[in-house]
Structure 1
Amino acid sequence: MASIFSKIVNGEIPSHKIAETEDFLAFLDAFPITKGHVLVIPKTEIDYIFDLDEELYAKLFLFAKSIVPALQKTVPCLRIGVSVIGLEVPHAHIHLLPLNSMSDADFSKKIKISQEELAQLAEEIRGNL
């Protein structure tokens, strides 16, 4: 069965896309822990990030890095944090998190943000790419 991320890649589930290439997709997390929480995925469904071949692994992180300047410009923060947990969705992914404190990286807390706010935020980030 396809992961929720594969369904997003295939257009079966809507998302607020930030950037896309032939191999990768970045989109706003629908249940963010910080404003501007971005998920970066390979389009190929591979469960565990360390099962990616070396080339795909390196390119995934380079793709994620390319989004950081636009994210920082859009969401004022001290840093963009990177997290790879890999338990919540069986599809390799990287979390990009605008951070102002360590407590901003608490995955047990979600923020409330409307679909309209997510759409506006995605548009602003894309505009800063």
Structure 2
Amino acid sequence: MSTLFSKIIDGEIPGRFVWSDEVCVTFATIAPITDGHMLVVPRAEVEEYTTADDELLAHLSVVAKRIGAAQQRAYGAPRAAVMVAGFEVAHLHLHVLPAWDENALRFDNARPDLPAEQLDAATEQVRAALRENGHGANVPPEMSSPALG
């Protein structure tokens, strides 16, 4: 059975994509802790971090680094944070978000009720910063599509 994230990747459920390659995609969470909070998700349905092979984890880490650098550029954040939790969806994913301090990095700070316009604007800021950082080839042509650019 497909996971929620596989359905987003396959276009069955809408998503706001900022990155796409052969191995993974990155899209905005619907309950961001900070503006620009993204999820780096492998295309393969790997259930959890500790069962993923090292090559996949290395690739996800490199993509998370690029997403984090774009978030820092877009939001002027002093840090980019990466968290692995995975309790809400049984499909490996890295939370990457611009961060100003450790106190903010709690899931009880998530904002599930933001208007779509605010989520769209935050996603576009990260997409633009990825292009500015030289990663335009991995930014999908349409925010709602995981297809390669």
TM-score range, shorter chain: over 0.9
What is the letter of the counterpart of residue 94 of structure 1? L
**3-state secondary structure, aligned to 2:118:** helix
Structure-2-length-normalised TM-score: 0.81
Note the alpha carbon deviations across 1:57-106, whole angstroms, 9 max, x for none.
Answer: 11111111121221111122221111001211100010012111222111
Q: Secondary structure at the match of 1:120?
A: helix
State how 1:44-123 maps to structure 2 within 5 Å: 44-111=44-111, 112-123=113-124
Quote the offset at 1:117 in angstroms: 1.3
Separation in structure 2 between the aligned mates of residue 56 and residue 102 of structure 1, nearest angstrom? 27
CA distance in 2, matches of 1:53, 1:74: 31
| Cα distance in 1, alignment partners of residues 85 and 26 from structure 2 | 17
Consecutive unaligned residues of structure 1, counting only runs of 5 or more, are none
Is residue 13 of structure 2 the alignment partner of residue 13 of structure 1?
yes
Residue 41 (structure 1) aligns with: 41
RMSD value, Cα: 1.2
Contact 2:71 2:97 survives alignment (8 Å): no
CA distance in 1, matches of 2:7, 2:29: 14
Output the CA distance in 1 between the equivalents of 2:79 and 2:127.
19
Contact 2:25 2:42 in 1 (8 A): yes
* Count of aligned pairs between the two proteins: 129
TM-score, normalization by structure 1: 0.93
Distance in 1, matches of 2:101 and 2:82, equals 13
Secondary structure class of the residue paired with 2:108: coil
Unaligned stretches of 5+ residues in structure 2: 131-149
